Structure 1
């Protein structure tokens, strides 16, 4: 719940509606409205009349992107409630975090809303022995908790199809679902590669600007991450193209029809997928104002992830290795020498933590996540 605003807007993690309603009911009296349900939408035919009857309850509005016009009514309801002493935590809004939705909420509820980015499950939220399952299936709870790998894959395939055929057309200009799926799959195959819009466009028989606009949409929908290169005056020729990643590892594997962990280990995307899995977990664990990028020079010096944490924490450099042996390449040491980060780590697939050199330390993913969560606590 928002402490300093009347509304909290949360997205995009998929949580069972019944479970969510029960959890909220345990905290305080509440009312839950699923705006995909015509019956619940009908209750809001006169939103002022209906919502003013529940001023003492937390009102949960799920799938808010189905009724974006509701934001205008909420503004007046919130302001009227403030005059009567009902200032904070009145509404919890759930929905896909799209540009249009964020713009509309920001314009209508400026100063009245707090945003919470509810990411998929991360390594600090699951048992240590479930890390491989989390990597394989991704962080959407229903997928992660499925009885079998086959059931999990089927859920993710259904999500992809539904998103492309039903949800995406609501959020942007009409894009052929098959074209967008092909692009999404191409990005999955090229997980962590430098973005080459012209090459992707050639494979889709569309223009490079069209591909760029499609990727913009996938980024806005939090389905793809475009990791920007780090710029610094270090007297070196720096790579200027961003890297792209399909953010949820489970969706990556579903797009590539990878069902089991053995299938994943034998697939060429295994290494890049692990890199993305680590990056998403570390960015999620870092303080909210941290800046994430990568560093690469034309001569081969490279850092997979740079986290500018700010304040006394400075910048952390992270190299990512899928193997149990944390042995960075020469280019990583050269990059560390170029940038002189406050700390440098090699995140590996094991759990041990030990020094590799005077300036570089090996650490497992879970412990690295805990280190970053600690910096978040220090930054307030």
Structure 2
């Protein structure tokens, strides 16, 4: 059974504008499945196969000649040198199109699981020739098979979409948190332990082993669990390193590996020169709550819901869903999402920035309390327009707490 992805619209659009599309993201997020469903007539080759990888490494031109175009190349990060040969082919095709006054067709689709490496190589080698598209695990809208969109915290927009809201109680939400959104696991509902153990083993063997000493893979597995236990928290590299038995420098490197692999995302604090009291430490979130719950050792959604980590997982779920809704429109989050915390321990969970306007957001796993917006006024120090804030919780409709903040059901994200 194929589940349509929100990104398909963006990919179809770029297919008519670029000679190459590069998809990147964590393993098992459905990149290859989506592309092969969208472009069934394209030849498909994966560089996981040693004979293909060896040929592509030794003789990129012969490799491309042997497959022709249009072509889907999976696991492109394993032979980054191939991008230079692809660049030459695209440039030749563009020159021919110019002389014949035609449009250059889509020639190559590249996919891979090392976010940073692929993005950097593609940006440098294929600049202006490829569209970069990030793929995440299923969003809740994709699970429900409904057409989703970017989450924009505008009250009128949210109220207009409320008719499509599927009310969810807290228990239902924690079941979804526990399952996560890995497409194969979600669709087939295969044995959970087997799936995630295999996922982690494959990730360590194929991705991590290329970046660290193979002898330290057991340490990295322990590191993943330690980091999972700190999802939605501020990153204290020294504390994490001490828990694993590695130094802060190694911790930073390993955090960057998780981020580059699409396993986690880093949320930066919102700050400018107006405030000296802002804590500059970023926060970290897992992008798939199912994987995070497995790494933490939670074996049942009910136990997770009643655990001391329930709030952290609910916040992780909300933030990851908002991030997915933005990325599924082909957009980046670096200039859109932030958080606020100062040395007086005043905190705003999320700040959504649009057109130089701030939208404060608080995240509560239950029904938001009366003073849930108490820290929103702290943002006035930036002398920027501040829109009505949100308290994202388990309420059943969008309705006002007061004139400065509205309750927003978590199910509104992505509608």
TM-score normalised over the length of structure 2: 0.78
Of 375, 399, 403, the residue aligned with 1:354 is 399
- Secondary structure of the 1:124 match is helix
Alpha-carbon spacing, 1:260–1:328, altered in 2? closer, same or farther (3 Å): farther
Q: 2:275 and 2:30 mapped to 1: Cα distance?
A: 52
Q: 2:140 and 2:337 mapped to 1: Cα distance?
A: 19
1:79 aligned partner: 91
Of 136, 144, 162, the residue aligned with 2:186 is 144
2:21–2:110 contact (8 Å) kept in structure 1: yes
Of 189, 194, 197, the residue aligned with 2:234 is 194
Q: 1:317 and 1:6 mapped to 2: Cα distance?
A: 40
Q: 1:249-260 counterparts in 2 under 5 A?
A: 249-260=289-300
Q: Does 1:163 align with 2:203?
A: yes
Q: Which blocks of at least 5 consecutive residues in structure 2 are unaligned?
A: 1-10, 98-102, 145-165
2:131 aligned partner: 114
Alpha-carbon spacing, 1:357–1:53, altered in 2? closer, same or farther (3 Å): same
2:73–2:111 contact (8 Å) kept in structure 1: yes
2:162 aligned partner: none
CA RMSD, Structure 1 to Structure 2 (Å): 2.8
- Secondary structure of the 1:369 match is coil
Q: 1:179-258 counterparts in 2 under 5 A?
A: 179-233=219-273, 237-258=277-298
How far 1:308 moved relative to its partner? 1.2
Q: Does 1:97 align with 2:117?
A: no
Alpha-carbon spacing, 1:173–1:74, altered in 2? closer, same or farther (3 Å): farther
Alpha-carbon spacing, 1:253–1:67, altered in 2? closer, same or farther (3 Å): same
How far 1:196 moved relative to its partner? 1.6
1:34 aligned partner: 46
1:229–1:241 contact (8 Å) kept in structure 2: yes
* More RCO (CA 8 Å, sep 6+): 2
Equivalenced residues, count: 363
2:75 aligned partner: 63
How far 1:368 moved relative to its partner? 3.8
Deviation string for 1:305-341 (max 9, x for gaps)?
A: 1111225xx2211100111345444643443555562
- Secondary structure of the 1:210 match is helix
Q: 1:18 and 1:279 mapped to 2: Cα distance?
A: 25
Q: Does 1:309 align with 2:351?
A: no
How far 1:361 moved relative to its partner? 0.7
Q: 2:277 and 2:283 mapped to 1: Cα distance?
A: 17
Q: Does 1:276 align with 2:321?
A: no
Deviation string for 1:58-98 (max 9, x for gaps)?
A: 31111112222211211121122222326242111110134
2:158 aligned partner: none
Alpha-carbon spacing, 1:212–1:47, altered in 2? closer, same or farther (3 Å): closer
1:300–1:331 contact (8 Å) kept in structure 2: no
Q: 1:330 and 1:53 mapped to 2: Cα distance?
A: 61
Structure 1, 358-367 or 279-288: larger mean CA deviation: 279-288
Alpha-carbon spacing, 1:142–1:363, altered in 2? closer, same or farther (3 Å): same
How far 1:104 moved relative to its partner? 2.5
1:227–1:292 contact (8 Å) kept in structure 2: yes
1:137–1:153 contact (8 Å) kept in structure 2: no
1:278–1:365 contact (8 Å) kept in structure 2: yes
Deviation string for 1:184-227 (max 9, x for gaps)?
A: 21121122222222222222222222212221222222222222
Q: 1:342 and 1:234 mapped to 2: Cα distance?
A: 20
Alpha-carbon spacing, 1:298–1:93, altered in 2? closer, same or farther (3 Å): same
Alpha-carbon spacing, 1:15–1:317, altered in 2? closer, same or farther (3 Å): closer
TM-score normalised over the length of structure 1: 0.85
Alpha-carbon spacing, 1:200–1:259, altered in 2? closer, same or farther (3 Å): same
Q: 1:22 and 1:198 mapped to 2: Cα distance?
A: 44
